[in-house]
Structure 1
Amino acid sequence: MIEKNKTWPTIAASAVLAVVFMLPNMATPVYPYWKAKIGFSAGAMTGIFSMYIAGLVVSLIISGQLADRWGHKAVLIPGLLLAAFSCLLYMDAQSVLTLSVARVLTGFAVGTVVTAGMACVIELGGISRLRTSSLLASIAIMFGAGIGPLMSGFVAQKLAEPVAIIYKIEMLAIVICLGLVCILPLQKLPVPDTPLRLKLPAVYPQNNIHIALGVSVYIPALTSVSFVAALAPTMFSHQLGSNSPLLAGAAVALTFLSASLIQPLIGKLKIKTLLSSGALVCILSLGFMSASVIHHSVFTLILAGVLAGISQAMAQLGAISLISQKVPANVRAQGNALFSLGGYIPAGILSGISGFVIDLVGLTAAICLLSGLVSLLALGGGAFVLRSKI
């Protein structure tokens, strides 16, 4: 049995979360570069962006089961290798197909970290520190998601050919993470004596309500963040006439870094308070997002992004805490996968169609329409949480 409550392994595992979560949003500031080089519409851009969800969904379906069967390390190492390969594809992308494949592999890598990586942080933190470990994992995810686009936006602003440098930096970080994962003192599981039968991730029936409560708020919160990440370049171009990669990257970074910074302040709130407040903040964020395109206000757009990040932080921390406290350890990786599937599939569909809706009816009408739809989802999720007995 491994010794629990060691600080460095928990921090190291959290660093792996942060590095891999840098990868999905690093592409946002350099989409204008690819758009000029390859040529595609706003609809195609958000379509490429949401291909990430396709890889993520497949990974979430299988990674949790593999991690619960063979151990977290056996899933994390292949996931990191896929992340490194996706960096190679980004560096050499000459077509929409190559970018789409890179996004799929990025999603697959993130899926392994969402399931095995978060469960790994909880395991290393120990039973006595479940809430602290959940908080650390959630902060790491948001921090990585924020630093990624900020770094890539800075490089893209300074260099005419930024892509190779951006993804070489990420590859170096991934190689360091591979070394960290190899030496983490994770518990070794006995070799299974039954054949592997892959199925949809599942928890015990009594835990389904815990997953549903988290998902009900996470869907609208994640969708609002996805709107900011996918549409920041387009919205800044429309409102400022600027295609600055640093500006787009900073907007996305601010969204996620605000989520990272707020979490220590809300870490001790009750789970019901976290989830219900997350729904309310999500509705506020979507209202400001609509106002930003109606009044052409950059400040309002930035405020919408900050509120979207805080909303996701509340929903994510509340859900992770609920899973870590209520879902048994032997199916916790599948619980994480099930929660992420429930959030990412609807959010991916909504953010994926947003670009095509913009092409069809225009930016202002599309954002207002989609924001109204997602606000209704947030309202329903918040009511569901308030009526629950958690």
Structure 2
Amino acid sequence: MTSVRHARVPARSTHNPSPPAPRRWIWLAAWPVTAVFVLSNAATPLYGLWQREIGFSRGVLTVVFACYIAGLIASLLVSGVLSDRIGRKPVLLPALALALLACGIFATADSVAALIAARLLTGIAVGAAVSAGMAAVTDVAGPDRTRLAALLASCAMVLGAGLGPLLSGVLSELAPAPTVTVFAVEAALLVSALVVAVRMPLRRPDRAQAPASWIRIPSVPRANRRQLALGIAVFAPGITATSFVLSLGPSLLSSLLGTESRMVAGAMAFVMFLAATAVQFAVRALRIRSVLLAGATSTALAMLALIAAVRTESPALLITAAILAGAGQGAGQLGGLTLLNSTIPARRLAEANSALNMGGYLPAGALPVAAGYLSDAVGLSTGATVFAVLLTALAALGAVTVLRVPAE
């Protein structure tokens, strides 16, 4: 039985890996992931603006958010296996092009249908980024730097996710034509990511070692299922918590602070993902078991703070909940990616990344939508409380799952 503390590292030569690249390329390889994730949450501070201009409920808002999850999951069904079969670039480059198309639709959106289309395309691009993009970082890093690759890929994801709403909130308040300006800036970032992706030093995989089927539910080798399950058990509650803050956090802020400021909403999301980034650097030297337990504990504490925030109408507690939620996602994500990077053969790594993210994003899409419609029916405070109680239980279950696996 492979322990959580010391994961065995198998030989990774079956993927015909690239020779070691200069260290700067490990950092550069993470930029396309960051750029796509900037787009993933750039719309968050703008939902209030669109709600006023177009007119839709909190329930519809969470459906728009969930369409992103639907596109992401559909992408994960294909992009991981496809990337392992034909290479990282042939998957990553079209994904960046789709992200650019989504920017154009967001910039001119004047209906719920347009928002849904833009979110769907964004989800498809993000699905490719978390499978092919993150695997590309590991491929560029080489077999001797897998832990560094996991750290950079994970931080690229959460840092981009935090920069998106911050840039969007600031630009939409201070610049003319808010939506056009926000997504024009994001398009420029994506173009730079395309340049990096084209020049990335990667080899194509050995097709003789590629998976037989093109579309399937992402999985891992039988020997690695325990590592995948442990990662999902902690990562899923963490990313579900941050998804709730992204989708309904601005509504809660408006209720508690009486403000519609997009900068405030964007700043809260940025602080949440800044915490997700910082915690990964803080715990990177810990044993994986400790990292996962820290993630589960942070998510549970975040939900307790959320309950207290809505019951006492405290903005400070809401910000605390967001910070703890970010820490929970960051630690759970880092622990899960590190387990996969250190144990999965490179020829299955993108598919393994897809499996981890699918396990996380399924509840991250479903539960906030349920909370949104429940909030429409019984009130935002009650809906948020029910959501928080359920997620606290899931986070506790994740901690118990980790504790049940032998440490040695």
What are the equivalent positions in structure 2 for 1:182-331 lying under 5 Å apart? 182-190=198-206, 197-331=214-348
Contact 1:292–1:300 at 8 Å: present in 2 too? yes
Q: Shift of residue 55 of structure 1?
A: 0.2
Match for 2:69 among 53, 63, 79?
53
Q: Shift of residue 191 of structure 1?
A: 5.6
> In the aligned structure 2, how far is the partner of 1:10 from the partner of 1:76?
16
Matched residues, percent identical? 37
Give deviations 1:337-377, integer Å, cap 9, x for gaps.
Answer: 00100110112100122111100111111111110011111
Q: Which residue of 1 aligns with 2:186?
A: 170
User: Match for 2:384: what amino acid?
Assistant: I
User: Match for 2:92: what amino acid?
Assistant: L
Partner SS, residue 259 of structure 2: coil
Match for 1:101 among 78, 98, 117?
117
> In the aligned structure 1, how far is the partner of 2:360 from the partner of 2:284?
21
> In the aligned structure 2, how far is the partner of 1:377 from the partner of 1:105?
30
Match for 1:336 among 350, 353, 364?
353
Q: Shift of residue 211 of structure 1?
A: 0.7
Q: Which residue of 2 aligns with 1:29?
A: 45
Give deviations 1:115-147, integer Å, cap 9, x for gaps.
Answer: 011111011111111111111111111111111
Q: Shift of residue 313 of structure 1?
A: 0.7
> In the aligned structure 1, how far is the partner of 2:197 from the partner of 2:102?
19
Which TM-score applies when normalising by structure 2? 0.93
Give deviations 1:44-89, integer Å, cap 9, x for gaps.
Answer: 1111111100000000110001000000011000100000000011
> In the aligned structure 2, how far is the partner of 1:131 from the partner of 1:31?
37
Partner SS, residue 37 of structure 1: helix
> In the aligned structure 1, how far is the partner of 2:90 from the partner of 2:322?
36
User: Match for 1:234: what amino acid?
Assistant: S
User: Match for 1:68: what amino acid?
Assistant: D
Partner SS, residue 2 of structure 1: coil
> In the aligned structure 1, how far is the partner of 2:141 from the partner of 2:355?
22
> In the aligned structure 2, how far is the partner of 1:89 from the partner of 1:270?
44
User: Match for 1:90: what amino acid?
Assistant: F
Q: Shift of residue 176 of structure 1?
A: 1.0
1:355 aligned onto 2:372:
yes
Contact 2:172–2:181 at 8 Å: present in 1 too? no
Q: Shift of residue 325 of structure 1?
A: 0.6
> In the aligned structure 2, how far is the partner of 1:371 from the partner of 1:194?
40
Contact 2:31–2:196 at 8 Å: present in 1 too? no
> In the aligned structure 1, how far is the partner of 2:388 from the partner of 2:213?
42
1:364 aligned onto 2:364:
no
Contact 2:54–2:111 at 8 Å: present in 1 too? yes
User: Match for 1:149: what amino acid?
Assistant: P
Q: Shift of residue 276 of structure 1?
A: 1.3
Which TM-score applies when normalising by structure 1? 0.97
Structure 1, unaligned runs of 5 or more: none
What are the equivalent positions in structure 2 for 1:366-381 lying under 5 Å apart? 366-381=383-398
> In the aligned structure 1, how far is the partner of 2:26 from the partner of 2:176?
39
1:85 aligned onto 2:101:
yes
Contact 1:284–1:307 at 8 Å: present in 2 too? yes
User: Match for 1:316: what amino acid?
Assistant: Q
User: Match for 1:105: what amino acid?
Assistant: L
User: Match for 1:121: what amino acid?
Assistant: V
Contact 2:220–2:352 at 8 Å: present in 1 too? yes
1:13 aligned onto 2:37:
no
Q: Which residue of 1 aligns with 2:59?
A: 43
| Comparing 155-164 and 212-221, the one that deviates more | 155-164
1:150 aligned onto 2:166:
yes
> In the aligned structure 1, how far is the partner of 2:87 from the partner of 2:59?
40
Q: Shift of residue 25 of structure 1?
A: 0.9
Q: Shift of residue 195 of structure 1?
A: 7.5
| Comparing 151-160 and 324-333, the one that deviates more | 151-160
Contact 2:30–2:153 at 8 Å: present in 1 too? yes
Contact 1:258–1:309 at 8 Å: present in 2 too? yes
Q: Shift of residue 326 of structure 1?
A: 1.0
Q: Which residue of 1 aligns with 2:177?
A: 161
Contact 2:71–2:121 at 8 Å: present in 1 too? yes
User: Match for 1:50: what amino acid?
Assistant: A
Partner SS, residue 109 of structure 2: coil
User: Match for 1:128: what amino acid?
Assistant: D
Contact 1:47–1:353 at 8 Å: present in 2 too? no
Give deviations 1:245-302, integer Å, cap 9, x for gaps.
Answer: 0000000110001111222111011111111121111110000011111111111000
User: Match for 2:401: what amino acid?
Assistant: F
Q: Which residue of 1 aligns with 2:151?
A: 135
Count of residues in correspondence between the two structures: 390
Partner SS, residue 124 of structure 2: helix
> In the aligned structure 1, how far is the partner of 2:399 from the partner of 2:241?
15
Q: Which residue of 2 aligns with 1:181?
A: 197
Contact 1:67–1:116 at 8 Å: present in 2 too? yes
Q: Shift of residue 189 of structure 1?
A: 2.7
> In the aligned structure 1, how far is the partner of 2:156 from the partner of 2:203?
22
Partner SS, residue 205 of structure 2: coil
User: Match for 1:7: what amino acid?
Assistant: R
Q: Which residue of 2 aligns with 1:113?
A: 129
> In the aligned structure 2, how far is the partner of 1:162 from the partner of 1:24?
17
